[in-house]
Structure formats: structure tokens, C-alpha cells
Amino acid sequence: MERHYRLLQERIHFEELENGLAVYVVPKPGFKKTFACFATKYGAMINRFVPYGESEYIDVPLGIAHFLEHKMFEMPDGTDASEIFARMGLDSNASTSHLMTTYLFSGTANIKEGLNLLLDFVQTPYFTEERVLREQGIIAQELKMYLDDPNEALHLGLMQNLFRVYPLRFDVGGTLESIMQITPEHLNKCYRTFYHPSNMALIVVGDIDAIMEDSDDPIKALIDLVRENQAKKDFKKPLDIRKNILVEDGVVNKASDYQKMDISIPKAAVGLKLPFERYQKNQSFLMELEMKILLEATIGPMTDAFQEMLDLELINGNLYYNVYCDGLSGFLKVQANTNKPKQFIAYVENKLLSLSSIDFDDETFNRFKKATQGSFLRAMNNPEYIGYNFLRYLFSDADMFEAIESFSELKKEDMKALEKYFQKEALADFVVIPKNTLFSKIQ
Amino acid sequence: MEIKEMTLNEIPLTLIKTDKFKTINIQVVFLGEFSKENATKKSLLTRILSNSTKNFPTKKALATKLLDLYDASAGVTTYPSGKTAVTVFSIEVVNEKNLGIEGLTREAVEMLYEVIFNPNLEGGLFPEKDFNEQKRVLKERLNNVYNNKTRYALRQMLKKMAPDEIISVSSLGSLEDLEPLTNAELVSQYKEMIEKENISIYVCGDFEEESIIKDLSLFGSLKNNPHNYETVLTEPVKVEKVREFFEKQKIQQAKLIMGFRSDINSKSPQFPASLVFNAMYGGLFSSDLIRLVREENSLAYTITSMFLDDVMVMVVAAGIDGSKYGLTTDLVIKQLEDYKQGRLDPELMQTAKENIASDLLQTEDNPAQLINYFLRNYLHGLKYQVSDLVAAVKSVTLEDVQKVAQGINLDTIFLLTGEDDDGKAL
């Protein structure tokens, strides 16, 4: 099936294979690089589920999806898939988020071979005691690296204040303690359950004509390559995955907290919890987009508020904001380096609460619509952006291209629907301060 | 893709025409001297210039204008290459063809011109409020380097390694130079850039040549300064004795930074071989250092090597357990010694070449990187097309890599470590 997106001037081809694997192809003529991403809808969000072929729920240690990602690269013959990619001149990588685990490669030659390798290594599980032990050492170092990063501490602290039980409150990598409990048996159970092709998707972004240069119908030939690869493997029949993700109400866990670290300038973050509700198709994407526009119009560099924060020395030049919606819940986050964390928090919270009554003039609204169209067209220069984000939104029930196009029909009045989210009980903050300062003395 | 190099009156102009991007990217680049004396001024100047202009005198006005240009992205940065400061004014705007409108490229050019040539001066000075604000912002930014432990450790290592050399000067500036800096000094730094520095212009995208040259004619009346700039250092530094430095902070993971002197710079004929050396040694994920330190000995999650090729320095950086300091540095040193003796894996060299070639070809997929490639050629007086450099890398031999290694010598080791780590290893 082919779809053409008029505003973005992009095409996408889709086919679901016999074993349930969803394959997407986005042609980018003239690009030297091809980007391929193979992902499972399984991440740090899922820690309780019924393993494939069993009937009882089990709990698995935190950080297991990420651990599994590390271990997938090891092949039964002792080789490492990333080295085989490298020998082909391909860059490979992988990442785990709460929502998904992705395996990807990019390069300028040997793309067909790379695609086969990508599918094969992810579909060859092999876990031994000895290798799990060694990996615990490597991941412990990775976690320690993040423990020294004040931005990570700030984010995690804020998530723990926002959520009581929802797994966004846990670091994707787990903890130094939890990863030590992981066994090959855990890994096998997770793999069997979540790496079935029907729970996965593959996207290829690049110059398909160049990759499949011998073919009259390059897109079909590429999809056939994937189909042939899959036909050689024997998959059990897909079952509905039973998983138990803890959800909660829209009230924050803890309104405020702080942590001390060896840093020079305090960091503060304000978060707004998005309630657990039934999100419609494409809504996760549109929610993020509309919230970002609201933030930009309220405290972004084009506002008087931004200048006021500088004048009051509440921010040190930069303000970062981020909106995340995974189709179940999510958050909005505003953070800055600041010498007056408490005053910064009060200022931002006040601005956010003012959005419980949204007052956009036509000029501002239309300016943002225009700018949004421009920014997405600019993003289409970047195959990685397209590939990664397409899957990330696919797994939160949105078609990124379709959602971008539907955004052009958004009316000013539609923004009113967001007002209900800006409630005091949904706000929390977190501060990281230098180790030798007293929190009570902070402004 | 079609590349044309021409001049706009006296200004060198590089036109990179390709239809694969949905944007037009324009960069105007100034080359001037980079020194301890002007680094902080240049750093502050780029901040002031990117925040307001005469016609858009506030952040709000400037940001609103960029949104109106379909979210155009504009920026000013400055970075050193050897003893030369490279100051880049850039704008990226959606190609008007993709929007079915006209005049957007022209407006983007005008905006870029406004940012460079029409600063918000009042009575010959930047507005005092903006000056003080950006001075404060830069001060906090400098203070904030401490929060990024790897970056902090790298800066400390360079300071210890070469306190009197240009290498130790950060293009971000320094607190001691920022404090006494006056508004008038900043304005004269600005005037010096406009009047005395070398200008070149780069455009990338799907444009009509005649039309883009017409749009750029705004810049056509400028004079240029065809001065020879020292964009690389050329004198190898001999290492007398390896020095070690330690600092303690309350952190979980120690940062190890090792500084080496090399005899190769970006203009050397051995430059392609140094790319291959670096990829094999610690640049690639399958490099020898990752294999040895991470995979075989579980000593680090990351270890990487990189060349600062304009200043003939190589750096190895790793996040390690502080008590494993001796073990890790021994492995890094021993691996270099193996390379010097010619103990090199031909298969790894092949992998390195494939990866470098692929990375080089990919510069053609990103407008900013593509422009940067041609800017680099201009800086160093090179004529390499991407395909020439790929060919040069492919013809590198094991002996070439061995020679690169033989020109590399450890100079300084810096370890930023946790307060709780016991002192034995130190």
C-alpha cells in the first residue's frame, strides 16, 4: 500500500507480512545514506506480563528490556553483530526507551546485506550465564555514568515526583541492584513474548532505487527481500500479549523535592502530569505538538515572559521544554539552569496554570501553524528523524505523516481542549543543587 | 549535485546545488585571529549578535520574525582552527518551491545580512541592558562547564598539558577575561571583524543560480581581506616526560583523559592515514581500545579516541572505575606501543576504511555538513572533493598507520575521580 503526503511531499509504502511484521519504506531519492530501524513495541514500561506459552503473570527486574538490547548483539558463535556491521561499512546501534527497543543501522553501501543481518541478529536469541555476568559489569558502568549526569538526575527526580507507580518513574536502565538479578531465563521469557514479528516493525528510509538498482520495481523488491528472509524462519503463532502496566490518577506523587550533587549551578524542573485517558488515533502526536506550541507561545524566546525571566535572573540564557505522550499518559517538562530555583519554579508554575484559560489571537495562532509546517518540512531532510520518530509514534498509536497533515486543519478553538490539563494537582517540581548548599537557603 | 566556486565581487562564493533537500542553507563565514586575548570577546560577541539587531531589537522581535519565515533557523557560532577564529553566521529556511510561494529565500538573505551588518548599536555601544544580560549568561555558561564532567575533565587536561599554548584556550572564553570586558571593547571587536576579517559565503539547496546571486548581491559591495591565516599548528611538540594530574569530586564514575602529541595536522599528506589510525585505535565501536578495555576487561562503558587535528593532539577519553586507573592507562599505552611495532590487524583496517568512507559520503546528506566540508577545504587551502578523500583513505597501508602511531606520544594524563575512591591507585 502506498500513501502520498501532499504537504510534506513524502511517500510511504506499507505492507504487513504473513508472520505479522509491519514493513514501512520511505524513498529519499538522491540520499547517499540509508537508515533502517527494526523495533519491538517493548521497553522499560513493561515489567509484569504473562510469558508466551504460560498462564501466570511474572514480575521481571527493572531494566530488563535495556539489558536484553545489549545482549542481542552477541551471536551464538561468539561474534558480535556490531562488528559484522562495521566490517560491511555500516554503523549499527540500538536504544531502549520506555515504549520500545530499536535496533538500527545506516550506511552508504551493502544495504541489502545489512538488512538481512539486522533481521537475523535480532531474531537469534542466545543468552548464557557467563555472558550475562559480564554484561552486568558493563551496564553497571553505563548506569554510573548517568548517575553523575545532573540532567539525568533532574529528569528522574521529576518523574518520581509526578508518578507514583507508572513506570515512567523508573530509569530505562534499571538500578545497580536490579540488573544484578537478571538471569538468562528472564531474558528468554521476555524475548519469546515481545520479539514475535507481530509485535515488531521495520522501517527503511533511503534511496530505494539505488539500493535495488537491478530491479524494475525497487520498492516491491525490497519488501520481497524482507519477506524471503522471514520465510526462512519458523515463528510460533502470534498470541495476544497479556501485560500489566500500573496506572494511576492525575494527581502527582509528590509536589516537590531536591537532590544534592557535585555541580556548580542549580538545575530546576517543573513538570505537568498528563492524565491517563483514552487517547484517540494520532492524538499522542497532536497532543505533543499542540502542547509545545502552547509552551512556546507562553514562555518561549518570542514572549515577554522569557525576557522577564532573564531580567529577574531566573534563567541563565536557556530554557528547555519537552512534551511526551505515549498514548497512555505523559508529561510536560520545563527546565533551566538557575541560581534562583524556587523563584523559577513559582514563575513557571504560575504561567502554566494561566493556561487553564487559553487566549490566543489569530495572528499568533496562524504564525505557529505556518512555523510548524516549516519545521516539519525541514525535518524531512533527516532520514534518522523520519525513521525513528515514525516508529516511536506508530507504537503510541499515531501515523506521524498523517498527523502532521491533519495538524494543518487545526483551528484556534481546538486548542481550548487543552485547558483542562493545567491543574495545580498535576504540577510537580524537582531541583538539583550543589552539594555544599542548604536547600532552605536557596532562593 | 553540482558545485560552483566563484566570487561575488571580492567575496569567495561556493554554490552547492542539489534537489534532495527541502531547505536552502546559507552561511557567511568570517576568518580572523584566534588568541587568548580575543577568545572571550568573540564568544560574547556571537551571543549579543544572535539576540537582537537594529530592526529587531529584542529577542521577542527576532524570534517572531524567524517564525514568520516558516520557522527559519538562524545562528551565530565561533570556533578555533589552529590560531584562526572561524565565525559562522547561518540561516536555514524551507525552500520556497516546497511551499509554492516566492521571496522567502530573499527574505532569509536579508535577515542574515541584518544580523551581521546591522547590530543594535545605540550611540556606538550595544544597549547596556543587553550587554550586561549576555555577560551574565556567558558567565553562567562558563560556570556550567563544571557540571559536564567529561567536558570539564577534557578542558582541565588541555590546560595542564599546554598552559602556554593556543590549545588551552577555550573558544567559550574564560571567567577572568570576561569580568573586566567593556561594552566599548566588544564594539571594537565587532568592527574589527567587519572591517578586517576574511569573508566567504556558502549556499546549499535547490536554487536557480541567477536568482540566488541576485539575492546575495546585498553582500556584493563588501571588501575582502585575503590574509593568510594559520589554520593549523605546524611545529610538533616533543614530550620530555609524561605528567599525571588528579582531581577529586563527589562523583560515581571517574573520567580519564589522556593527551597525546602527534606530528600530523589537517593539511599533512598523512591526514587520511590519521583518520584510519584513529578509527582502528579508539574511534570505532569495534576499535582495539573498546575491545580491550570494555569487552575483554569490563573496565569502562565508553572509551574513545579522537584527533584535534588542527593542533596536532590526540585524546583518549574514558569513563572508568577510579580504582582501575593503572590497569586502564596501561592497556591504552600498550595498545599504542603495539601499533608502533606494526602489530596491526588488516581486517580492522579494512573495517576502518569502510566506515570512514561511509561517514564521508554521508556528509553529502546534510546541508550544514556539506557546507562545512567545503569550508574546511577553504580554511586549509585544500582541493579534496569528498570522493578524493575517500580514495585517499582507501589507499592507506598498514605501514602508513604504523607511521602515524610512531609520531604519537603520550604527554599528559588527567583523572577526575570520586572522593570515595581509595588512594592506592593514585
> Could you read off the pLDDT of A278-307 as tens digits, one per residue?
888 999 999 999 999 999 999 999 999 999
pLDDT at B422: 47
- In this structure, what are the phi and psi dihedrals at residue A149, rounded to the nearest 5 degrees? -95, 110
Using a CB–CB cutoff of 8 Å, tell me whether A377 touches chain B.
Answer: yes
- Based on the fold, state whether residues A214 and A286 are members of the same structural domain: no
For residue B285, give the nearest of A86, A367, A435 by CB distance. Answer: A86
Q: How confident is the model over B94-119, as pLDDT tens digits?
A: 999 988 899 999 999 999 999 999 99
- Based on the fold, state whether residues A312 and A203 are members of the same structural domain: no
pLDDT at B226: 75
pLDDT at B184: 98
- Based on the fold, state whether residues A134 and A220 are members of the same structural domain: yes
- Based on the fold, state whether residues A203 and A310 are members of the same structural domain: no
**Residue A151, in any domain of the structure:** yes
- Based on the fold, state whether residues A221 and A260 are members of the same structural domain: no
Supply the range of the domain harboring residue A215. Answer: 2-231
Looking at the annotation, which residues of A are catalytic? 69
Q: How confident is the model over A107-159, as pLDDT tens digits?
A: 999 999 999 999 999 999 999 998 899 889 889 888 988 888 999 999 999 99
Q: Please name the residues between 39 and 68 in chain B that touch chain A, using a CB distance below 8 Å.
A: 47, 58-60, 63-64, 67-68
In chain A, the percentage of residues whose pLDDT exceeds 90 is 81
User: What angle, rounded to 10 degrees, do the helices at B36-49 and B128-144 form?
Assistant: 120
- Based on the fold, state whether residues A286 and A357 are members of the same structural domain: yes
Q: Kindly state the helix (H) or strand (E) to which residue B403 belongs, with its residue range.
A: helix B398-406
CB A241 within 8 Å of CB A49:
yes
Q: What is the end-to-end Cα distance of chain B in Å, rounded?
A: 55
* Closest by CA position to A157, among listed A268, A7, A37: A268
CA dist., res. A13 & res. A5, Å (int): 11
* Domains of chain A: total: 2
Whether pLDDT at B421 is above 70: no
* Closest by CA position to A149, among listed A261, A63, A269: A261
Our CA-based measurement puts residue A402 at a distance from the nearest CA of chain B, in whole angstroms, of: 18
Q: Which residue of A has its CA nearest to B367?
A: A381
**Residue A241, in any domain of the structure:** no
CB A52 within 8 Å of CB A192:
yes
CB B266 within 8 Å of CB B86:
no
Lowest mean pLDDT among A17-31, A128-142, B365-379: A128-142
By three-state DSSP, how is residue B255 classified? strand
CA angle B16, B19, B20 (to 5 degrees): 100
Query: Which CATH number covers residue A379?
Result: 3.30.830.10
Residue numbers in A near B349 (CB within 8 A): none
**Residue A246, in any domain of the structure:** no
- In this structure, what are the phi and psi dihedrals at residue B32, rounded to the nearest 5 degrees? -145, -170
Using a CB–CB cutoff of 8 Å, tell me whether B197 touches chain A.
Answer: no
Whether pLDDT at B425 is above 60: no
pLDDT at A145: 85
**Residue A237, in any domain of the structure:** no
Please identify, among A197, A231, A265, the residue that sits at the C-terminal boundary of a domain. Answer: A231
In chain A, the percentage of residues whose pLDDT exceeds 70 is 100
pLDDT at B426: 39
Q: How confident is the model over B237-258, as pLDDT tens digits?
A: 999 999 999 999 998 889 999 9
CB A259 within 8 Å of CB A67:
no
CA dist., res. B123 & res. B116, Å (int): 18
**Residue A273, in any domain of the structure:** yes
- Based on the fold, state whether residues A316 and A351 are members of the same structural domain: yes
Please identify, among A231, A247, A275, the residue that sits at the C-terminal boundary of a domain. Answer: A231
CA dist., res. A118 & res. A114, Å (int): 6
CB A33 within 8 Å of CB A383:
yes
* Closest by CA position to B406, among listed B312, B328, B338, B304: B338
A307 and B58: CB-CB below 8 Å? yes
pLDDT at A166: 96
CA dist., res. A318 & res. A316, Å (int): 6
- Based on the fold, state whether residues A203 and A268 are members of the same structural domain: no
CB A159 within 8 Å of CB A90:
no
Neighbouring CB atoms inside 10 A of A277's CB total 11
Whole-prediction pTM value? 0.91
Whether pLDDT at B288 is above 60: yes
Q: Which residue of A has its CA nearest to B48?
A: A317
| Furthest CA-CA distance within chain B | 70
| Burial state string for A67-105 with b = 16 or more CB within 10 A and e = fewer than 16 | bbbbbbbbbeeeebbbbbbbbbbbbbebbbbbbbbbbbb
Please identify, among A214, A231, A248, the residue that sits at the C-terminal boundary of a domain. Answer: A231
Contacts of B257 (CB under 8 A, 6+ apart): B153, B154, B156, B157, B315, B316, B317, B413, B414, B415, B416
Taking residues A248-275, what's their average pLDDT?
95
CB B280 within 8 Å of CB A86:
no
Taking residues B64-86, what's their average pLDDT?
96
**Residue A244, in any domain of the structure:** no
Residue numbers in A near B18 (CB within 8 A): 30
Lowest mean pLDDT among A133-137, A184-188, A345-349: A133-137
CB B315 within 8 Å of CB B259:
yes
| Burial state string for A172-185 with b = 16 or more CB within 10 A and e = fewer than 16 | bbbbeebbeebebe
Q: How confident is the model over A414-424, as pLDDT tens digits?
A: 899 999 999 99
- Based on the fold, state whether residues A74 and A217 are members of the same structural domain: yes
CA dist., res. A44 & res. A65, Å (int): 6
Reported as a pLDDT band with limits 50, 70 and 90, residue B424 is very low
* Closest by CA position to B391, among listed B346, B361, B367, B347: B361
A307 and B60: CB-CB below 8 Å? yes
Q: How confident is the model over B299-355, as pLDDT tens digits?
A: 888 899 999 999 999 999 999 988 899 999 999 999 999 999 999 999 999 999 999
* Cα separation values, B140 from A259, A347, A348, B80, B175, Å: 20, 20, 20, 22, 9
In chain B, the percentage of residues whose pLDDT exceeds 90 is 86
**Residue A238, in any domain of the structure:** no
Reported as a pLDDT band with limits 50, 70 and 90, residue B420 is low
- Based on the fold, state whether residues A282 and A352 are members of the same structural domain: yes
- Based on the fold, state whether residues A223 and A263 are members of the same structural domain: no
**Residue A239, in any domain of the structure:** no
ipTM of the modeled complex:
0.87
CB A267 within 8 Å of CB A337:
yes
* Closest by CA position to B70, among listed B47, B46, B97: B97
Our CA-based measurement puts residue A398 at a distance from the nearest CA of chain B, in whole angstroms, of: 24
Average pLDDT taken over every residue of chain B: 94
- Residue B236 in grid coordinates: 610538533
Reported as a pLDDT band with limits 50, 70 and 90, residue B285 is confident
- Based on the fold, state whether residues A18 and A84 are members of the same structural domain: yes
* Closest by CA position to B74, among listed B89, B61, B54, B58: B89
Our CA-based measurement puts residue B123 at a distance from the nearest CA of chain A, in whole angstroms, of: 23
Using a CB–CB cutoff of 8 Å, tell me whether B283 touches chain A.
Answer: no
Give the distance from CA A214 to its chain's centroid.
36
Using a CB–CB cutoff of 8 Å, tell me whether A313 touches chain B.
Answer: yes
Q: How confident is the model over A42-74, as pLDDT tens digits?
A: 999 999 999 999 999 999 999 999 999 999 999
